[in-house]
Amino acid sequence: MVEELDPFKISQEQLDKAAGIMKLDKEAHMILREPMRTLTVNIPVKMRDGKTQMFKGFRVQYNTARGPGKGGIRYHPKETIETVKALSAWMTWKCSLANIPYGGAKGGVICDTKTMNDMELENLSRGYIRALKDFIGPKIDIPAPDVYTNAQTMAWMMDEYSNIVGHNEFGVITGKPLEIGGSEGRFDSTAMGGMYVLREAAKLKKINLSKARIAIQGFGNAGNFAFDLSKKLFGSKIVAISDSEGGIYSEKGLDYEKLKEAKQKTGSVDGYKGAEKITNKELLELDVDVLIPSAIENQITQNNADKVNTKILLELANGPVTPAADEILFNNDVLDLPDFLVNSGGVIVSYFEWVQNLQSFYWTEEDVYRRLDTIITKSFNDVIKTQKEYKSNGRSISPRMAAYIIAVGRVAAAMKIRGWY
């Protein structure tokens, strides 16, 4: 049997399973299976040769019962509406689980940033905002960076929206540079939140993180910071790392500065000297204490889940584990902590940035990390508590199902109170 890898169908399957366990009202379940609004736009962009090229973009607002939409914008040559819909659903559950006053949204544009210069990227970013101007705003839907977008992209977008409304509107976008309303602690917030979850998980599994062996799949923003922070905060040994070109392994542990240098010089972690070359597939099957997938979705499936050999699986990427794999990992006593808990640090600190923008009152990095720790640690404890309260087919449920039950329950309650069903 071939496993379903369509990300939106996977998100629906996960919701359906949680709805069955929690006996969710049928009308609420029906509403929550589909996004409230799906927008497709065509963006004309003047290119460096003076010609105009058309780009297709998307914005999905999944559910806004608990607050304005919130979610990143991805620039990717293989972007699809199905991926954007799935990510907007997961953003809905992520914001609800963290108990911050947002709904879920997501955006994307089909483009290859590696072939575009800054002028073209700026023209595209401003064009995307002009196309969405009636559908976003600080009290409607607040975008943020995601795959192949960054603080500079957000600066162009915020500026374009401000030009449209006729005044500075810093709160329309998060993930901005500090100079124009960005927040301290935003750029490593996804990984930092993941580290707070890892700390709590290690207590639960009785693992000494100072002696732990960690493998990280992906050396983008999240994986890079996860490598650095796990060494700085816990003194852990990172024995393996990979990127899209391949991976490396060293039982003695890898050096962060040497790794960054190798990546900069050669374009891949593969250029690191003194380590064994391995594939991404081999990295996922290493015997380690902690495995951190921080790359792309559908990396652990029914085909390789039985070979995963770790005590804690920390999902820093979005959707790295499929539903079939989730079941296998749970049966094998792997503590698989779901993405919309583990990587919620990014949206939590985006929320902090938005609050600071609305108040024009800015916090220190220490304030940001302290508040992030409080929120995400409570989310972790809520998940473990809920896991013990529910049973499915006479046995405990997985952390993912526990997280879904909390998140879906909160959104359904908000819809019920508002009279949506």
Q: Which residues of 92-113 are buried (b: 16+ CB within 10 A; e: fewer)?
A: bbbbbbbebebbbbbbbbbbeb
Name the strand (E) or helix (H) holding 60. strand 52-63
CB-based contact 59:41 (threshold 8 Å): yes
CB-based contact 240:288 (threshold 8 Å): yes
d(CA 376, CA 380): 6
Known catalytic membership, residue 385: no
Integer CA distances (angstroms), 188 to 12, 62, 402, in order: 30, 26, 27
CB-based contact 343:190 (threshold 8 Å): yes
Q: Which amino acid is at 203?
A: K
Burial bucket for residue 53 (CB in 10 Å: 0-12, 13-18, 19+): middle
One of 70, 94, 106, 237 is an active-site residue; which one? 106
Closest CA to 162 of 137, 183, 145: 137
Closest CA to 164 of 173, 151, 152, 176: 173
Question: Which distant-in-sequence residues (6+ apart) come within 8 Å of 190 by Cβ?
Answer: 221, 222, 225, 316, 343, 345, 346
d(CA 234, CA 267): 28
d(CA 279, CA 265): 20
Integer CA distances (angstroms), 174 to 206, 384, 417, in order: 37, 30, 29
Question: Which distant-in-sequence residues (6+ apart) come within 8 Å of 44 by Cβ?
Answer: 52, 53, 54, 127
d(CA 57, CA 75): 9
Enumerate the active-site residues: 106
